[in-house]
Structure 1
Amino acid sequence: MDTMLLTLITFSPLLGLVLLAFIPRTQAGTIKLIGILSTVLPLLLTFVMYAGFDFNLAALQFHEQIRWFAIPADQVEFPIYYEMGVDGLSMPLVMLAALIGFFASVAGAIFIKKRWKEFYILFLIMLIGMIGVFTSQNLFLFFIFFEFTLIPMFFIMGIWGYVEREKAAFKFLLYNGVGSAIMLIVFVALFMNVWTLSFKEIADALTNPMSPYNIQEAPGYIDETLRYGLFLALLIAFAIKMPIAPLHTWMVKAYQESPAPAVLVSSGVLIKIGAYGLIRFNIGFFPEVAMDMAQVLAVLGLINIIYGALLALVQKSLKMVLAYSSLSHMGIVLLGLASMNAVGFQGAIFQMVSHGLVAALMFFIVSMIFERTSTAELEDLGGLAKSMPFVAGMFLAAAMASAGLPGMSGFISEFMAFLGLFREMPIHAAIGTLGIILTAVYLLRAVLGTTYGPTPERWASLSDARPLEVLPMVIILGFILLIGVYPSVLSDPMQATLHNIVPRIGG
């Protein structure tokens, strides 16, 4: 289906950037309104995309391809295209990026206290990058959008963060910059061998036995050693982004020192880019290598789950509990991918979307508590259910979703991921279930320590959620319940795509 819908979704925040350029920085109310409305348009367009998505089609949909420029080599030109499209893998993530983008823009209006114009300009640039990463079908375009998410986040973290914001921002940039450099080297190596940047053409060249690139005498042939090298390089690059332990330390610092909108975006969307890259590039380009490396992915997933859960269990700060919880939940994504079958892959994608929604909701609630109390330390909190009953109720609901309560999105994602892994690696799956038990323990500890017990006198008169805070929380919780009660809303669009991916790896 040829259309410009994906370009409109991706670049519609530019309209807000243009309007903000003409608004005086002193008009804070107008700036906030434009900032929020600039995220509503791409969100509405994603629902149009969903309504027009053909669930039975495995090929790219809403495909756009325009000749961009050409690279000359040996008297031959290799055209590079501006190419966009979505399938059952990327379409749910585009919707997630747009939804969390809207949620974070509202958080910006609530929690950002200075320089609103600069904030929303940087934020909208970052939103373009977030959506563009999932709509691009070209390595060059993917890399550009990927960088669009890094630079604005660096400035948002460094300007509007907390006490050690500069240190956290530079650590974020250093780690992710190294990941970007590794990824760029791999992309260049792929182009120099197959002379195309198109996802589909690269995958066909590397996985189709009849392709000239798979004939050993062909100029672009990539031998087994190089394939393993490129796979491992991409694994490191995306391990930083997800993150995968021990490459996770940037995330812990960033979540602790970043302002609320940055944490919502990072936990809700940006770390999902790493998991998306593993599926799209590692598994999509090198399925045989991925099959051989399945045990490695499973072990890394177990390390994330157990290590993250154990550290979350002993943290004294709510922010740190949620940071290590994110690390643990990304391990479930790895376990789903390690299964190398359709059920596990579906669980991994469900987990990406579910955790994006739940983590964003929980960090939003913690930011509300921090704004009112100026602390996120568990020992300083307690009894907030009396003065903030709505917030306490939402916090409990979000914790139950994160712990995998039936009827919520977390249950579906964890069930499918572990079901897929039990088919292939029952021992790994059994060990991984320990993480689910630990998740319930540390989340209940956090909820009880924050909202229940005697109410300190200084918290007795705290204000409950305001209307601007209630609306986005209710919307996010609504999507969490929708996926949990009616998972077909998410599973049906991805079926055809997964049935196209899995046979390549023999799953």
Structure 2
Amino acid sequence: MVNSILLTLLTLSPLLAILILAFIPKHQGGTIKQIGVLGTLLPLLLSLMLFANFNYDKAELQFVEKVEWIAIPVGTQQTGEVFSFPIDYEMGVDGVSMPLIVLTAIIGTLAAVASWNIKKRLKEYFILFHLLLIGMFGVFASQNLFLFFIFFELTLVPMYFLIGIWGYSDRERAANKFLLYNGIGSAVMLIAFIVMYVTLRTMNMAEITAAFASPDHPALAGLGENFRFGLFLALFIAFGIKLPIFPFHTWMLKVHVQAPPAIVMIHSGILLKMGAYGLLRMGIGFFPEQSYQFATWMAGLGVLNILYGAVLAFVQKDLKMVLAYSSISHMGIVLLGFAAMNTIGFQGAMFQVVSHGFISALMFFLIGVIWERTQTSMMEELGGLAKSMPFVSGILLAAAMASLGLPGMSGFISEFLAFLGLFGHMPVLAAIGTLGIVLTAAYLLRAILRTTFGPTPERFVRIADAQPMEVIPMVVLLGFIILIGIYPAVLSDPLQNTLKTIVPIVTGIGG
């Protein structure tokens, strides 16, 4: 479908909610909340419609949009005509980006429901919330580096204010740290994009991929191997900060602890995944040979992420910090899948991206529910919640089982594929990485048992269990976790053909 407008409609659909919210008086808090939640249903419906009409048998882009946008004048020809570098408005999705758009829409809607407990400055909150949605949809739909960068940066602004205004006690420091680290990553990315644009005179992702894959491209003649490797390394660092990869992870810990639960659902469930998506789409996609040469280092960093996050999660006293370090550990599995440089490994990495998106969103939603009732997330102050909150405690245990890789849930299939892909090439690093699975079981069960079992503090004896508005996100997120676990084809079908076009280029042997 050429020159479809569906992706633009999806990306800009949150603007409708923003416009309606702009005309609602600030004192009508109930109406603002209703519009804030209902406004996410339109992008959800559009994303599901796109997914339903997505052709699994095609590897190429679908729902393509291309419109002439900007022409940058760079000089005058001898004839007197001004020649320019074009930048087009280009959108499209394939088997890698389509599941991430659906993930964004689902978690966006459930995070809006989770925002029902926000009490101050509701109008500004939901306007920024929907602006954040626009940025995230745009990142996964863009097929042009300039457009990608605009949407990527668009996510930083609302996220900064959502953390800094509606977060907890140390929210301003967390917001500043978020902006500093992500700003550095964006600057590195922008430099790499500019160098590629000046060199190749295009910002179209498919054209850049083809240019770097061509051994005799005229624009790259005379530019040595170090030039390509330098660009790959720049993109790896830029997206590695977002993922995050050790040692660029400290900003993420602050955000996970200080941001409001609904925003952490989006941050851990979607924004971190933009790093993995960029790494696959641009890092590995643009520079397959360099990424193949860097695979051992990538696997080493992945193992370091897994073990570092798991060990530190084990000694935390705050449930939020346990989950923050758990995210670092699980993102290491994504790196291992990429380092495998084969179809199985790439599938495992993308399964992990989507699976962890649902699991982390569910876990942080549950932490938010517990916080609302107890005003604490410290494990030593909690305990025995299974007596007063049996439903919440049961869902929390199920989420923990999914996170540690219980068969029948999404965590198992993603970890299995990532490690299976790596074992064929780097069995030693893969074996060391599997220790993280054992540690994950240890720290998660320790945290859940301390929280839900044992003696119940007197002040928590009569606290309420989950309310209807809270049950919906829990059931929906757990449902998707189980669906992917028992029917992985829902993800593997769209991924399969797209990854088959990437792997032969990376390995040179057909994956």
1:172 corresponding residue in structure 2: 178
Q: Return the offset for 1:456.
A: 1.6
**2:41 is equivalent to residue 35 of structure 1:** no
1:413 corresponding residue in structure 2: 414
Aligned pairs for 1:23-422 (under 5 A) are 23-75=24-76, 76-110=83-117, 112-209=118-215, 211-214=217-220, 216=221, 222-422=223-423
Q: Return the offset for 1:210.
A: 5.2
| Residue ranges of structure 2 left out of the alignment (5+ in a row) | 77-82
CA deviation map 1:24-54 (0-9, x unaligned): 0111111011111111111111111111111
- Counterpart code for 1:118: E
Q: Return the offset for 1:395.
A: 0.1
Q: Is the 8 A contact 1:391 1:464 kept in 2?
A: yes
Q: Secondary structure at the match of 1:453?
A: coil
Matches of 1:210 and 1:91, distance apart in 2: 33
Matches of 2:44 and 2:477, distance apart in 1: 13
Matches of 1:285 and 1:122, distance apart in 2: 33
CA deviation map 1:203-253 (0-9, x unaligned): 011112354335x26xxxx43111111111111111110000111000001
Q: Is the 8 A contact 1:206 1:213 kept in 2?
A: no
Matches of 1:367 and 1:445, distance apart in 2: 19
Matches of 1:490 and 1:151, distance apart in 2: 31
Q: Secondary structure at the match of 1:424?
A: coil
Q: Secondary structure at the match of 1:59?
A: coil
Matches of 2:400 and 2:41, distance apart in 1: 27
Matches of 1:403 and 1:14, distance apart in 2: 38
Aligned pairs for 1:462-473 (under 5 A) are 462-473=463-474
| Residue ranges of structure 1 left out of the alignment (5+ in a row) | none
- Counterpart code for 2:110: F
- Counterpart code for 2:129: F
Matches of 2:12 and 2:425, distance apart in 1: 42
**Aligned-residue identity in percent:** 62
2:435 corresponding residue in structure 1: 434
Q: Is the 8 A contact 1:204 1:211 kept in 2?
A: no
- Counterpart code for 1:137: Q
Q: Secondary structure at the match of 2:30?
A: helix
- Counterpart code for 2:107: I
Matches of 1:28 and 1:209, distance apart in 2: 60
Q: Secondary structure at the match of 2:95?
A: coil
Give the alignment's TM-score, normalised by structure 2. Answer: 0.97
- Counterpart code for 2:259: S
Q: Is the 8 A contact 1:205 1:212 kept in 2?
A: no
Matches of 2:134 and 2:176, distance apart in 1: 22
Residues paired across the two proteins, number: 501
- RMSD of Structure 2 on Structure 1 (CA): 0.9
